[in-house]
A and B are shown apart, each in its own frame.
Chain A
Amino acid sequence: MILIAFLVQTLRIAIPYLFAASGGVVSERSGLIAIGLEGYMLGGAFCAALASYYSGSAWVGLAGAMAGGVALALLYAVTVIRFRADQVVVGIAINLLVIGVTRFFLRLAFHSSANSPRVPGFGAEQSGTGVVALAHNPLVWLGLVSVAFVSWQLYRTPFGLRIRAVGEHPAAATSVGIRVAKIRYLSAALSGMLAALGGAYLALDQHQFSAEMTAGRGFIALAAIIFGRWDPFRAALACLLFAAAETLQIQLQGAQLIPSQFVEMIPYVLTIVALAGVVGRAVPPAALGKVAD
C-alpha cells in the first residue's frame, strides 16, 4: 500500500517533467538549446487556466496551452534562426518574458497578482490524489505516450532522421536537400507544445494558475535531458528518478533524515557529474546552439 502510494505520487510529480523533457529532447536534437522549457511550461499553465476558465472545459484549456507553447517556441525559433540571435540569451529572455507576461495578464484578466480563480480540470472534483484519480486524468496517459511518441518519431521516422541530421551536421543535411530551418522550426514548435502540456497538467491538476507555479520544473526537465544523454527514454527515466527523490523527501518529511534542500539538489548535482563525465560522459548533439549557414 505504501509502495503504491509512493509510485502514484512519483508519477504525479513526474508527468510535467516527462512532457517537458520529451519536448526538450526534440528541440535539442535539432540543434536548438532548450533553456526556454521553463517559460513554455509557465506559458502553457497560464493559457490552460485562461482557456479553461473562459470555456468551462479543460479540453479547451489543453488547446490553449498548446497554442501558447507553440507561439512562444516560434518566437524563440524565429529570433535564433531568422535573426541568428544567441540561443542562450533568447532562451533566458523567453523565461523572463513569460514570468512578466503571465503576471501582467493575471492582473488584467483576473485582477489578482498571485493566482487565478478556480478553473475546470479533468475528472471528478473531489476524487483525491489516489490511483483512480490519476488514471482518470488524460494528461497522465498523454505524458507517458509523449515519451514513446518522441522516441518513435526520432528513431523510426524520416522526420526524426532529419531532426537528428540537422542537430549533428546541418551543412551535411543541407547538402542532401534537407531544409535545416524548416526542420528546426517544426522541432521548436513540437517542443513548445509538449512543454506547455506539462504546464497545463500543473494548472489543471491544481484547478488554478498561480504566479511562477512551474518553480524551476523546466530546468529539472533540462537536467533530465542531459542526464539522459539526449535520449527520450533515458531522459524519461531520469525524470522518474528525480520525481522519486522528491516523493521520498515529501514522504520522509516527518522523519527529518535529510534536509529537503539536499534532496532538491539531486537532479542538478547528478547533471553536473554527468557532464563532467565521471561515469560515461554526456555528449550533446554536435551542432547544438550553433548558427546554421
Chain B
Amino acid sequence: MSASSSSTADTTTSHRVVTLAGAAARRAAIEEAVLPAIVALLVAAIVGDILILSFGQNPGTVYRLLLEGTWGNAYGLGQVLYKATTLTLTGLAVAVGLRAGLFNIGAEGQLAAGGFAAAMVGLILPSGLSALVTLPVYLVAAAIGGGVVGGIPGVLKAKFGAHEVITTIMLNFVVLALLNYFVAAHMRVADSLHTAEIHAGALPPLSAFISGFHGSAANVVIFVAILAAVVTGWFLFRTRRGFELRATGLQPQAAEYGGVDVRGVWWRAMALSGALAGVGGLNFVLGYKHYYEDAFASGAGFLGIAVAIVGRNHPLGVVLAALVFATMSQGGLAVNAVVPKQMVDVLQAVVIIAVAASVPEVRRMLRRGR
C-alpha cells in the first residue's frame, strides 16, 4: 500500500464522518424545532379538554366541529388562508427582528400603519387602474408606512440605546391613537370608524380563481405573503446582509469585531421588520374590505410574536405556525355555538407559553442525550 492511497482512504472516511455529523446535526435541529411544538399541542389539547368539559361539552365533538369548520369546507379553508396571510407577514416581521437579536413588539402598530398608508394612496389613485398597476404601489406604500413605524425604535436603539421592547410597546399605543385620531376626526364615513371605499385597482379575492372560496375573505395578498416568506428566507440565509443580520443577533460584539456595522443592522432590521408587518395591512384593507377601518389589526400583530416563536424564526416555520394559529382563530368561530370562542384565545396563549418554556428544556435534553 502506498502512502498516497491510504491518505485517500482517510479523506474518504473523514468525509463520510463529516456528512454523518452533518446529518445528525440536521436531525437534531429538526428535533429541536419540532419537539416543543408537539409538547405545546399536547398541553393545549389537555387545557382545551378541561375548558370544554368545564362547559359540559364533549371534547371530541368540539374538536371535530373545529376541524370541520376550518379545513372541512372551502369557505372555512378560505377564512383560514385569509387569517394566515396576515399572520405570516407579522410573524415574518417578528422573526426578522429576533434573528437580529431585536424583539419587535410593535407589529400591531406597524400593521395598522401599513394598512393606513396603503389606504391613503388608494383613496388618491384614479379608480380605473387595474390591480396589476396598483398592487406594486400599494406594496411600497404599506412597506413604507410600516417601515417608518418600525424604523423609529430601531434608530432610537442604534443612536441612544433605548431598549426596543419598551419603545415598540409604547409606540404601538402612540400609533394606534394617532391613526384613530386621523380616522375619527378627518376621514371617516358618517356613523362608522372607517374611511370611504377605495375604488382604485381592487385586489381580487381568491374566489375569482377558485369559485369554492366564494364568500371567504381570502385574496391575492396570500401570494404576497408566500413570496415574502421565500424572499425573507433567501435574504436571511443566502445574502451577506442577511448573514450580518444573523451574526448581530447571535453575538453583537463578535459581529462588530468581525467588521459588521451593528448599529446599522439594528435600525435596518427594525425598518425591514416594520415593512413586513406593514405589508400585512394590505390583506384587510385592500384585499378584503377596500377601506381602512380603525383598530382593524385587532391582535394580529401580537399573534405575529406567537407565530415567530412557534415557527422558530424560520420562514417555513412561520408559514406553518401562521396556518396553525389561523386555524385556531377561525376554529373558535366554528365552535362558538357550543363553547365560548375565547377558548381558542386561551389555547393560543397556552401554546405560546408551552413553546417558550419547552424550547430551552428540549435543547438541554438533546444536548445531554448526545
Q: Which residues of A contact B (CB under 8 A)?
A: 33, 35, 75, 79, 83-86, 88-90, 92-94, 96-97, 99-101, 103-104, 107-108, 113, 216, 219, 222-223, 226, 259, 261-262, 264-265, 268-269, 271-272, 275-277, 281, 284, 289
Contacts of A104 in B (CB 8 A): 51, 340, 342-343, 345-346
Q: Is B170 on the interface with A (CB-CB < 8 A)? A: yes
Q: Say yes or no for B207: interface residue by CB 8 A criterion.
A: no
The reply to whether A88 and B105 form a contact with Cβ atoms under 8 Å apart is: yes
Give which listed residue, B162, B174, B177, contacts A275 with CB less than 8 A. B162
Most interface-central of B166, B299, B346 (chain A CB within 10 A): B166
- Shortest beta-carbon distance from A33 to chain B in Å: 8
Consensus secondary structure, chain A interface: helix
A109–B34 alpha-carbon span in the complex (Å): 37
Residue of B nearest to A288 (CB): B163
Question: Which of A89, A101, A113 is packed against the most chain B CB atoms within 10 Å?
Answer: A89
What are 25 residue pairs bridging A and B, where the CB atoms are less than 8 Å apart in the complex?
Answer: A33-B165, A83-B358, A92-B105, A92-B305, A92-B352, A93-B306, A93-B353, A93-B356, A96-B302, A96-B348, A97-B345, A99-B342, A101-B346, A103-B340, A104-B346, A113-B340, A219-B173, A226-B166, A261-B181, A262-B181, A264-B173, A265-B177, A272-B171, A275-B160, A284-B163
In the complex, the chain A residue whose C-beta lies closest to that of B360 is A84
Q: Is the CB of B346 within 8 A of A100?
A: yes
User: Which 3 interchain pairs have the tightest Cβ spacing?
Assistant: A100-B345, A97-B349, A83-B357
- Check if B352 sits within 8 Å of A93, measured CB to CB: yes
Per a CB cutoff under 8 Å, which of B174, B185, B340, B352 touches A96?
Answer: B352
B298 CB to nearest A CB, Å: 12
CB contacts (< 8 Å) of B237 on chain A: these are: none
Q: How far is the CA of A219 from the CA of B105 in the complex (A)?
A: 13
The smallest C-beta distance from B39 to any residue of chain A, in angstroms, reads: 11
Q: How many A-B residue contacts, CB cutoff 8 Å? A: 138
Q: Once bound together, how far apart are the Cα atoms of A250 and B360, in whole Å?
A: 48
The answer to whether B359 has its CB under 8 Å from any CB of chain A is: yes
B169 interface contact, C-beta 8 A: yes
Given contacts A96-B349, A97-B350, contact A271 B356 (CB under 8 A): no
How far, in angstroms, from A33 to B166 measured CA to CA in the complex? 10
List B contacts of A97 (CB < 8 A).
345-346, 349-350, 353
By beta carbon, the residue of chain A nearest B348 is: A96
Contacts of A264 in B (CB 8 A): 173, 177
Instruction: Tell me if B178 is interfacial: C-beta within 8 Å of chain A.
Output: yes
Determine the residue in chain B with the shortest Cβ distance to A89: B356
Taking beta carbons and an 8 Å cutoff, which residues of B are in contact with A? 51, 54-55, 103, 105, 156, 159-163, 165-167, 169-171, 173-174, 177-178, 180-181, 184-185, 299, 302, 305-306, 309, 340, 342-350, 352-353, 356-361
How far apart are A48's CB and chain B's nearest CB, in angstroms? 20
In the bound complex, CA of A33 to CA of B169 (Å): 13
**In the complex, chain B residues whose CB is within 8 Å of the CB of A108:** 54-55, 340
Given contacts A84-B360, A100-B343, A103-B342, 7 further A-B contacts (CB under 8 A): A83-B356, A83-B357, A86-B309, A99-B342, A100-B349, A104-B342, A272-B166
The answer to whether A259 and B181 have CB atoms under 8 Å apart is: yes
The reply to whether B170 and A268 form a contact with Cβ atoms under 8 Å apart is: yes
Instruction: Name which residue of chain A comes closest to B178, CB basis.
Output: A261
The answer to whether A261 touches B180 (Cβ under 8 A) is yes
A75 to B105, CA, bound (A): 21
Bound CA–CA A262/B179 (angstroms):
11
Max chain A C-beta neighbours (<10 A), residue from B159, B299, B346: B346
Bound complex: CA A284 to CA B165 (Å): 12
Residues of B within 8 A of A79 (CB): 353, 356-357
A33 to B165, alpha carbons, bound, how many Å? 10
Given contacts A79-B353, A90-B356, A268-B170, contact A276 B162 (CB under 8 A): yes
Min CB–CB distance B94 → chain A (angstroms): 10
A residues in contact with B350, CB < 8 Å:
97
> Bound state CA distance, A239 and B350, in angstroms?
32
Max chain B Cβ within 10 angstroms of own Cβ: one of A97, A259, A281: A97
A84 to B361, CA, bound (A): 8
B-chain residues with CB within 8 Å of residue A93 when the two chains form the complex: 306, 349, 352-353, 356
Known: A264-B173, A265-B178, A275-B163. A85 touches B345 (CB 8 A): no
Contacts of B174 in A (CB 8 A): 265, 268-269, 272
Question: Once the chains are docked, how many angstroms separate the CA of A276 from the CA of B157?
Answer: 8
Identify the closest chain A residue to B352 (Cβ): A93
Which residue from chain A places its CB closest to the CB of B165 in the assembled complex?
Answer: A88
Bound: A96/B180 CA distance, A: 23
**Neighbouring B residues of A103 by C-beta, 8 Å:** 340, 342, 345
Q: In the complex, what residues of A have CB within 8 A of residue B359's CB?
A: 85
Q: How far is the CA of A219 from the CA of B346 in the complex (A)?
A: 21
Docked CA distance A93–B309 (Å): 11
